[in-house]
Structure 1
Amino acid sequence: MRLFDLPHDYTRFDRRDRLTLNDPLMAWARWTIHLLGEARGWKRGVREDIEQGLTTLLAGRVDGEPVLHSEMSPVLRKRVIGVGRTIDVLTRMGLFHDDRRPPFEDWLTGKLDGLAPGIGRDVEAWLRVLHDGGPRNKARAPATVYGYMSRIRPILLTWSDRYDHLREVTRDDVLAALDQLHGHHRHHALIALRSLFSRAKKNGTIFRDPTRRLRVGQYPYGVLQPLLTGDIDRSVQAATTPAARVMVALAGVHAARAADMLALRLDDVDLGNRRIVIASRARPLDDLTHRLLLDWLRHRAARWPNTANPHLLINHITATTTAPASGQGASLILHKQAATLERLRIDRILEEALACGGDPLHLASVFGLDTKTAIRYADSARQLLITAAEEQDLAGSGEPKGRNHP
């Protein structure tokens, strides 16, 4: 039986201890490397690096003893060996244990700093349910959790100077805090406060919900404006790689989101029948997108001939895995451009809305939009069409167009 859990000292490793053909653990590791390498298209050098790293990590280890991330990461990084691929092999073998502290815990500690103890306990319980979910609660996206807390943390700090618990907060306190905010800041802060007090009421830590019957209301969105031709031209010129040109075409022609582009798989593209499936919706391929996809696939086959990644868009990091590319890399394609991928997508939908006269049913059918989003684009298109018609009437009548003209 083990009396102490001591960290492994890999500096005392001797390669002769493990480089034997009769070692069953190392033979298992080599076979696992071979299986994953064949499935993911690892080159010979990548396989040799992983084998070298595992030779060090598995030396002198008791059968079934897991490899800790805190122990292996410094060793592999010092030898310039991929940590992620080594983790995949160890996970397949059932010998990996991730002992890292979750980033959410560090973020939560920082956000609770400065709050009164009673308020902090309620806020912590609320944030954990949002992040992790519960028996009757679905976990929210991390961006939603971080956004909720960022909106109301200044309000909670102000209340912490006067109160020790959320049950002391009154309706007047909530209204006074909301009166200091305007526009979408007030809108999102009220949503977060209602969620917080609703959770506290369910947990029994407050007697009355001060946000009850405070209506969030419909947020008054502004009129969407089309992009300028010069902005679009500059974004097209900035897309210099085959992958970037494909993404610009998918956003500007098919109104695809960046997340949907990165989720595309090779099976979703049918070049022969000129069809592409984006977000589970089949769409016809135009000549421009068809040509750009051919260029990208030729570049992909020449650059990574052995890759087993099933996704359409890959890079030098994901070529040796089966995971999709990250959204951070997609956002850098049109960095500092007015016409980003998201703005190109919005402009394409708005263009269709103007062409169909602001018909929300048509927009929902073509792009798969939900009801509220389709109505928003339709309202913007109608407003732009009315404005254009008024300007034409003024130009035809010869009356000057001024700021104070009715």
Structure 2
Amino acid sequence: MSRYPKGYYKPTDSCDGCLAWGDFSGRLCPACYMFGRSHATAACVGCRRIQPLKWGYCRLCWCQARLDAQATVGRLAAEADVRARLNAVRHHQLFFMGMHHRNGSALAPRRRGGRRGAPRKLPPAPAWRPNADWRQLPLFGQVPRDYGRLAPSGVDLTSPWLTWAKYIAHRFAEARGWGRNIRFAVNRGLALVLTGYVEGDIIRHSEIFNPLRSRDLPVGHVVTVLEEMGIFEDDSEPSFEGWLAERLEGLAPGIRSEAERWTRVLRDGGPRSLPRREGTVWLYLNRVRPALLEWSDRYDHLREVTRDDVRTYIETLHGHQRRDQLVALRSLFSWAKRKGLLFRNPTSRIKVGQYEYGVLQPLVPAQVDRSVAAATTPATRLILALAAVHAARVAQIGTLMLDDVDLGNRRLTIAGRVRPLDDLTLKLLLDWLEHRRNRWPSTANLHLLINNQTATKTSRASNHWISASMRGQDATLERLRVDRQLEEALTHGPDPLHLAEVFGLDEKTAMRYADSARALLEQAAEYSASPPGKELGPD
């Protein structure tokens, strides 16, 4: 029975038997308690204390003799070696509770899911590319392999190529913080695709994607190792090609080929044109497609389209649709005129017109409150603050690096512009960094915001993941960014130069915010100047 009353918390103390320091209940540690139940008490031959004895010595003397024996033989000592050193004990090295075990020292780390004292698995030995001696040349060229028919029992674990691949995978795992499960899955995938591999073979993406995916193995990590080995060929079809074929479906053959050439020049650039972003290419082709589908019913080539056809089609459109589609059509026909595909540009002298922007309206507090309530994780709260306080775009949030954060000087660099860190953003930033350190302690990704997919890589998080928490809300990240810039114009006055300096806006965008702020301020002034009980507006 414990000498401490029920409900009393016993502080850390030393054992009365072995003098070991530890956290236990009662006077004795568990080892001395069990030792005393099976041995009689008398005066110890070595330390002269009244203690339970085994062969005339107490447990403290036995622990010291075992420690001396292990230091001499360099391994776990047998009981005979320990008994031979009992007479030589002249001092005692004090220790913490649980440091002496029959299966080895407790100083050895205990692995998760394994027994205490089990040896830790050693990393693979350094390996290099196997020497290319002689090999049998293929008779009919390289025949595509069917990796899906390979059973786990048929895997060749002795292949030198697999040994080299495992060493490369270990280096990537150490550098990028791959967990135990990812390492095991990558080694399984490498064993699958490298069984039967010989010098000169090429492993293609189309051959290994389905077999690895069906076994729930990480295709991307396996491909990273194979690319480092120089034996991988990415023959997968880019998503752009599938999208382009779908968008051009239904067009006349001549119009289809010309539209395809124009789209590829937009994406890849040409002798006198710079490449556009893929998103811009998508917008341009989507805007000209309705007109091309309509003209494909009557014409076979773009040179048959007249100016009247363009005007007739444009007259059916209004607002920003008319402007956007006319701009895209002018780009298409201007390219065709430069290439000599037509004699006259049918879109020439058709004015696009000035696009009239409406007055930007601020968000109401209820809309902002709902977005704040939807941010329930450290990452989403930080993303919300970056958009609502610092007016950062989604792409700018995704490209933020750890080096962009200067906690000591309370500065944050967004898109090359240094901004001061307010108290709210600083608190949310510290919360996220603490969560990131606890969740992914070994990650090598230097981006500020990471998730489960990017923690084992070096790429940034996608725009879709960043904006997912605010999707469906009235106050999205984009509207919060616009509201922040509009609030700055309303608070400090509609000064375009001030907005351009604070947020890095170009002159047209800054003037648009200034015009909206000026209109809102004039409307508020007119409302405050109207007589009580009389509303503004027509009678």
State if a TM-score over 0.5 links the two structures. yes
Aligned-residue CA RMSD (Å): 1.5
Residue 6 (structure 1) aligned with residue 143 (structure 2)? yes
What CA deviation, in whole Å up to 9, does each residue of 1:158-203 have, x standing for no partner? Answer: 1112222211111111111111000110010011000100111111
1:387 CA drift (Å): 0.6
What CA deviation, in whole Å up to 9, does each residue of 1:343-389 have, x standing for no partner? Answer: 11000000001112110000000001111111110110001111111
Give the TM-score normalised by structure 2: 0.72
Distance in 1 of aligned mates of 2:461 and 2:141? 42
Distance in 2 of aligned mates of 1:203 and 1:265? 44
Distance in 1 of aligned mates of 2:145 and 2:256? 39
Secondary structure of the structure 2 residue equivalent to 1:277? strand
Distance in 2 of aligned mates of 1:42 and 1:244? 24
Count of matched residue positions in the alignment of Structure 1 and Structure 2 = 401
Could you say which residue in structure 2 is the equivalent of 1:400? 534
Could you say which residue in structure 2 is the equivalent of 1:104? 240
Q: 2:384 is matched with which residue: 229, 248, 251?
A: 248
Could you say which residue in structure 2 is the equivalent of 1:65? 201
Matches within 5 A, 1:361-376: 361-376=497-512
Residue 360 (structure 1) aligned with residue 496 (structure 2)? yes
Could you say which residue in structure 2 is the equivalent of 1:322? 458
What CA deviation, in whole Å up to 9, does each residue of 1:66-112 have, x standing for no partner? Answer: 21111111111122111111111111111211111222222222222
Could you say which residue in structure 2 is the equivalent of 1:164? 300
Distance in 2 of aligned mates of 1:37 and 1:14? 23
Distance in 1 of aligned mates of 2:152 and 2:436? 41
Distance in 1 of aligned mates of 2:357 and 2:391? 20
Distance in 2 of aligned mates of 1:9 and 1:208? 55
Distance in 2 of aligned mates of 1:149 and 1:264? 31
AA at the equivalent of 1:161: D
Is the CA contact 1:33–1:89 (under 8 Å) kept in the aligned structure 2?
Answer: yes
Distance in 1 of aligned mates of 2:367 and 2:152? 61
Q: Which runs of 5+ in 1 are unaligned?
A: none
Distance in 2 of aligned mates of 1:12 and 1:320? 28
Where has structure 1 moved over 6 Å in runs of 4 or more? none
Is the CA contact 2:387–2:393 (under 8 Å) kept in the aligned structure 1?
Answer: yes
Higher Cα radius of gyration: 2
AA at the equivalent of 1:155: A
Distance in 2 of aligned mates of 1:135 and 1:19? 52
Could you say which residue in structure 2 is the equivalent of 1:28? 164
Q: Which runs of 5+ in 2 are unaligned?
A: 1-136
What CA deviation, in whole Å up to 9, does each residue of 1:133-182 have, x standing for no partner? Answer: 22332222222122112222121111112222211111111111111000
Residue 266 (structure 1) aligned with residue 402 (structure 2)? yes
Distance in 1 of aligned mates of 2:199 and 2:152? 19
Distance in 1 of aligned mates of 2:521 and 2:275? 42
Is the CA contact 1:361–1:374 (under 8 Å) kept in the aligned structure 2?
Answer: yes
Matches within 5 A, 1:267-306: 267-306=403-442
Distance 1:150 1:16, change over 3 A: closer
Q: Calculate percent identity across the aligned residue pairs.
A: 56
Between 1:109-118 and 1:78-87, the stretch displaced more is 109-118
Could you say which residue in structure 1 is the equivalent of 2:327? 191
Higher helix share: 1
Q: 2:263 is matched with which residue: 127, 131, 134?
A: 127
What CA deviation, in whole Å up to 9, does each residue of 1:199-245 have, x standing for no partner? Answer: 11111110110112323233111110000000001100110000000
1:40 CA drift (Å): 0.6
What CA deviation, in whole Å up to 9, does each residue of 1:295-347 have, x standing for no partner? Answer: 11111111111111101111111111111111111121112110011111000
Is the CA contact 1:170–1:210 (under 8 Å) kept in the aligned structure 2?
Answer: yes
Is the CA contact 2:155–2:192 (under 8 Å) kept in the aligned structure 1?
Answer: no
Distance in 2 of aligned mates of 1:293 and 1:101? 40
Give the TM-score normalised by structure 1: 0.95
Bigger RCO of structures 1 and 2 (CA < 8 A, at least 6 apart): 1
Q: 1:52 is matched with which residue: 181, 188, 208?
A: 188
1:274 CA drift (Å): 0.6
Is the CA contact 1:126–1:199 (under 8 Å) kept in the aligned structure 2?
Answer: yes
Distance in 1 of aligned mates of 2:527 and 2:401? 47
